[in-house]
Amino acid sequence: MKQKQITKPDLSRIRDILSKALDLQTLNLTEVSALLDVSDKELWLEICDAAGRVKEKVYGKRIVLFAPLYLSNECVNDCLYCGFRKGNKDAVRKTLTVGEAVEEASLLAGRGYKRLLLVASEHAKITGIDYLERIVNAIYDNTGVRILHVNSAPLRVEDFRRLKASGVGVYQCFQETYHIPSYRHLHGTGMKADYAWRLGVMDRAIEAGFEDIGMGVLLGLYDWRWDVAALIAHCRRLINKYGFGPHTLSVPRLQPAQGTMVDHLKFSVSDEDLRKIVAIYRLALPYVGVVVSTREPAVLRDELLSIGASQISAGSKTSPWGYMKEGDTEQFEIGDTRSLEEVIEKIASLGLMPSLCTACYREGRSGERFKHLAEETLIKNFCHENAILSLKEYEEDCATGRLKELLQKLLDQEISQSSNGICDKFKLIEKGERDIHI
Ligand code: SAM
Ligand code: SF4
């Protein structure tokens, strides 16, 4: 098929939009639509390059690392695309006890993770707020994990208050699709059938005191251009209402899973589309963290780091008890099976800075304050130093062999370019002090 010839006004219009994003201004929906309309391949390269520069301007070179911890796959809902759906009669069901959750979290902390994302299916009696609260408290009290985020079913305001009070950082929930007929078809029964209850989830979380919220659509359920625009519209509405929008946007792409009933080809999202989506999120909302999970293959994930992604999971399992034993039902198949060590090594080899930092949650840099610091390009100064400090801890506690040597070299280079302060902080870490951050 012949490529549409790009006209001069189109080109200058797109370049104006890129300049606006490079000034770290949020894009409006007309500008987002103009980017979504671009078909010229060369121009997409320019757009992706601008997205990479915006990421670097806001966050510098750091890439934050985390792992999900699946608590339960017992679910009252029947989302046609998910391996945990009620109708999947072949699923092997499991809900972690508090002790088991602590065991898995300790194992991950021992591997060097400081932040975990707790993921739970929806079952008010099994995985409701009492359960979540007990798990969060036990992990904080008994492991070296410093911040827990939660991806769970939407809660009531009073339950969100309890979740926030337990010390959770980000509350994350994906709308899946904003297209109401598709949403209804995919979520026929259970609590999740109520579109409006899900749509209002972030308002309730914010009302309860959450300033860091994570949003997304499940790419592949409906026309991705439509859903991406709708998600950005939702984010803009939150920004207008509260002064801040999402802390992170995720780009989950539909994966095959056991017992599902969805046509993966109908609205398929290609690798090229996913690159465009990451770039558009980065440009539309420059201050927001863009998260890529291990749903995606290794090579593509590495590429997305240079076009706007700022956080990635690594070494993930997607079944409850999956870190201890393979075999129970996974939510979906994993595309990148590399360990945390391998991902850290890769990030460093790309000239980026792997980070296990959790400082902003500990220092209350959230919501509007975080947005302001990011838009003023001040957050990257925190991010860079904290990334180095977290990596030094990792090098001391967990790294061995070739990775240890590589990290020592990287940290030596950082010392030579930084102030004396860092050198003193390194000495404290070498003496055994932990969680040093700014
Ligand atoms: N149960 C809660 C819910 O549905 O909101 C939270 C946890 S759910 C396990 C986390 C997310 O996984 C869902 O919001 C959905 O976007 C995503 N997901 C479900 N099935 C998937 C699949 N087959 N491929 C990729 N992501 C999937
Ligand atoms: Fe349950 Fe969430 Fe899976 Fe739906 S996506 S079946 S609510 S775990």
Looking from the CA of residue 331, the nearest atom of ligand 2 is 3
* Residue 46 exposed, middle or buried by CB count within 10 Å (0-12, 13-18, 19+): middle
Amino acid at 143: T
Cβ(282)–Cβ(51) under 8 Å? yes
CATH code of 251's domain: 3.20.20.70
pLDDT the model gives residue 4: 56
Q: Is the CB of 172 under 6 A from ligand 1?
A: no
Give the position, in ligand 1's atom list, of the atom nearest the Cα of 154.
5
91 CB less than 6 Å from ligand 2? Answer: no
Assess whether pLDDT exceeds 60 at residue 334.
yes
Instruction: Say if 31 falls within a structural domain.
Output: no
Q: Report percent pLDDT > 70 for the chain.
A: 97
The three-class DSSP label of residue 118 is strand
> Separation of 345 CA from ligand 1 center, angstroms?
29
Looking at the predicted structure, is the pLDDT value of residue 329 above 80?
no
In the predicted structure, residue 59 carries a pLDDT above the cut 50? yes
* 173 Cβ closer than 6 Å to some ligand 2 atom: no
Residue 184 pLDDT: 98
Average pLDDT, the chain: 94
Query: Which ligand 1 atom is at minimum distance from the Cα of 152?
Result: 6
Label residue 327 by pLDDT band (50, 70, 90). Answer: low
Structure tokens at 286: 């420059």
Q: Is residue 421 part of a domain?
A: no
**Is residue 136 a part of any domain in this protein?**
yes
Task: List the domain range (segments joined by +) for residue 326.
Answer: 58-338
Decide if 20 is inside a domain: no
In a domain, 351, yes or no: no
pLDDT tier at 6, thresholds 50, 70, 90: low
* Backbone dihedral angles phi then psi of residue 19, each to the nearest 5 degrees: -65, -40
Q: What are the tens digits of pLDDT across the range 339-357?
A: 999 999 999 999 999 999 8
426 lines ligand 2 (CB under 6 A): no
- Count the domains in the chain: 1
Residue 333 lies in a domain: yes
The residue type of 227 is D
The CA 293 to ligand 1 mean position distance, Å, reads 12
Is residue 41 one of the residues assigned to a domain? no
- Note whether residue 355 is domain-resident: no
153 lines ligand 1 (CB under 6 A): yes
222-272 pLDDT tens trace: 999 999 999 999 999 999 999 999 999 999 999 998 999 998 889 999 999
What pTM value is reported for the model? 0.96
SS (H, E, C) 239-280: HHHHCCCCCEEECCECCCCCCCCCCCCCCCCCHHHHHHHHHH
Q: How confident is the model at residue 1 (pLDDT cuts 50, 70, 90)?
A: very low
Binding site membership of 221 for ligand 2 (Cβ less than 6 Å): no
pLDDT, tens only, 129-175: 999 999 999 999 999 999 999 999 999 999 999 999 999 999 999 99
